[in-house]
C-alpha cells in the first residue's frame, strides 16, 4: 500500500513545530486515496523530542539528526529511512528548510517537488491534484500527481492556538526512533546560517512576529529601540495610528480598524494603550506581550504577558537576554 509521509521539525518545547493544518491535510489526502500515513519528526540534540508530547492516532518516527546537517543530508537520510516503503507522497509545511529538503528529496526520488501549494483536490480519476499560486498570486496552477512518489510543501495558515497545534490532530499511535547514520555530510552547498532581515523590509500582513510601538514610544528614535528587539526576534515592526500619524513609522504598518489586521504568533505592544480600534487589528495574535507603564492600560487585558514598566528599560533587557540565550545555545 502507498504511504503518505508528513515531515515536520521538532520544536523548542519537545513536541512538533507547528501545525495541525498540514498534519490533518496530509491525513485527509491519505484517507481519500486509501493510503496509510505516518509522521516523521526531525529532531536535533538541541531540540530533542519528548515522546509524551506526541499523542494521538498516527504512527510516528523520530528522526534524530546532527545539528546543522545540510538539506542534502536530511534528504538522503529520509530516503534511507524510507527503505522499501512504498512512498506515494511526502508532505512538508513550507519553510526555507522544508522547501530545500523537499527539492533535494524529489531529485533523489527522480521526481519534482511542488513547493508552496495552497490546497489540493481529487481528480475525476481519483488522483491527487495540488494547487499552488503562481505569477505572484494572480493565478493558481493545478498539478496532478500521476505517478508517485510526489513531494509537496504546503504554505498554509496555521490553525488554532499554539497549545492546540500538532497535538490534537492525531500524533503517535506508535513512536519509533531512527538515527542519522554516521559519515561525512558532503553536501556541495551548505547553509552557514540565517541572518535576520531588516524588520522594515518585511510586510506585517503575514508576519509571524511583530513588535509594535505607540505614542508611548515618544518619537521616531523610540522605534530604533524596538528595531533591536524585532531584529533579535527575527520579526517585523508595526505601529498604532498615532505613531503612524506622527510619521514615526509608515502607514502600511498601521495595525487596527483603519489599518491592517494581523495574526502573528507573537505581538509585542510597546507604549500602546490598547484602544478598541487598535485591538481590532491584533486580537487574533497567538500570544501578546504588553509593555506599558500604566497598570490600567486596556492593552494589558488582551495580553498573555503583561509588563508594567518603561519600555526603554524592558526592551533593551529583553534584547540582551535573547542574545545571551542564543550564545548559550551556540556553545552547546
**Measured from the CB atom, is 127 or 277 closer to ligand FAD?**
277
Position 82 contacts ligand FAD (CB under 6 A) = no
Site stretch for ligand FAD (CB under 6 A), options 15-23, 63-71, 307-315, 316-324: 307-315
- For residues 306 and 236, the answer to whether their CB atoms sit within 8 Å is no
List C-alpha distances in Å: 243 to 179, 246, 264: 51, 5, 20
Site stretch for ligand FAD (CB under 6 A), options 8-16, 54-62, 195-203, 251-259: 251-259
Exactly one of 25, 65, 297, 318 binds ligand FAD (CB under 6 A); which one?
297
Position 220 contacts ligand FAD (CB under 6 A) = no
Minimum gap (Å) between residue 301 Cβ and ligand FAD? 12
- Based on its alpha-carbon atoms, the radius of gyration of the chain, rounded to whole angstroms, reads 22
Exactly one of 104, 167, 241, 263 binds ligand FAD (CB under 6 A); which one?
241
Report the half-sphere exposure of 149 (CA within 13 A, side-chain side).
26
Position 258 contacts ligand FAD (CB under 6 A) = yes
Task: Work out whether strand 113-117 and strand 150-154 pair parallel, antiparallel, or are unpaired.
Answer: parallel
Per-residue binding string, ligand FAD, 272-291, x by CB under 6 A, is: xx-x-xx--x---------x
CA distance 7 to 60: 10
Grid cell 526512533 is found at 177
Of the candidates 124, 104, 128, 125, the one whose C-alpha atom is nearest the C-alpha of residue 115 is: 104
Name the residues that contact ligand FAD, by CB under 6 A: 214-216, 240-243, 254-259, 271-273, 275, 277-278, 281, 291-294, 297, 310-312
Amino acid at each position: 500500500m502507498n504511504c503518505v509521509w508528513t515531515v515536520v521539525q521538532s520544536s523548542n518545547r519537545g513536541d512538533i513545530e507547528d501545525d495541525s493544518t498540514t498534519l490533518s491535510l496530509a491525513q485527509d489526502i491519505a484517507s481519500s486515496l486509501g493510503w496509510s500515513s505516518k509522521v516523521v519528526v526531525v529532531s536535533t540534540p538541541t531540540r530533542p523530542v519528548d515522546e509524551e508530547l506526541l499523542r494521538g492516532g498516527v504512527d510516528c518516527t523520530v528522526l534524530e539528526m546532527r545539528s546543522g546537517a545540510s538539506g542534502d543530508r536530511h534528504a538522503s537520510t529520509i530516503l534511507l529511512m524510507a527503505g522499501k516503503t512504498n512512498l506515494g507522497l511526502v508532505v512538508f509545511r513550507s519553510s526555507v528548510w522544508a522547501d530545500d529538503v523537499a527539492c533535494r528529496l524529489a531529485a533523489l526520488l527522480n521526481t519534482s517537488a511542488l513547493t508552496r501549494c495552497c490546497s489540493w483536490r481529487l481528480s475525476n480519476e481519483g488522483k491527487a491534484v495540488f494547487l499552488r499560486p503562481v505569477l505572484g498570486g494572480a493565478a493558481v496552477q493545478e498539478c496532478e500527481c500521476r505517478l508517485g512518489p510526489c513531494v509537496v510543501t504546503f504554505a498554509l495558515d496555521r490553525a488554532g492556538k499554539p497549545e492546540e497545534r500538532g497535538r490534537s490532530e492525531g500524533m503517535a499511535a506508535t513512536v519509533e526512533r531512527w538515527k542519522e547514520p554516521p559519515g561525512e555530510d558532503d553536501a556541495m552547498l551548505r547553509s552557514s546560517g540565517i541572518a535576520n532581515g531588516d524588520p522594515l523590509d518585511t510586510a506585517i500582513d503575514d508576519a509571524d512576529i511583530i513588535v509594535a510601538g505607540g505614542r508611548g514610544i515618544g518619537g521616531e528614535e523610540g522605534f530604533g529601540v524596538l528595531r533591536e528587539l524585532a531584529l533579535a526576534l527575527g520579526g517585523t515592526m508595526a505601529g498604532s495610528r498615532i505613531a503612524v500619524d506622527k510619521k514615526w513609522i509608515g502607514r502600511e504598518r498601521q495595525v487596527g480598524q483603519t489599518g491592517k489586521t494581523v495574526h502573528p504568533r507573537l505581538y509585542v505592544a510597546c507604549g500602546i494603550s490598547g484602544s478598541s480600534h487598535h485591538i481590532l487589528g491584533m486580537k487574533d495574535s497567538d500570544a501578546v506581550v504588553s509593555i506599558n507603564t500604566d497598570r490600567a492600560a486596556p492593552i494589558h487585558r488582551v495580553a498573555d504577558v503583561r509588563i508594567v514598566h518603561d519600555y526603554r528599560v524592558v526592551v533593551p533587557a529583553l534584547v540582551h537576554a535573547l542574545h545571551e540565550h542564543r550564545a548559550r545555545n551556540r556553545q552547546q
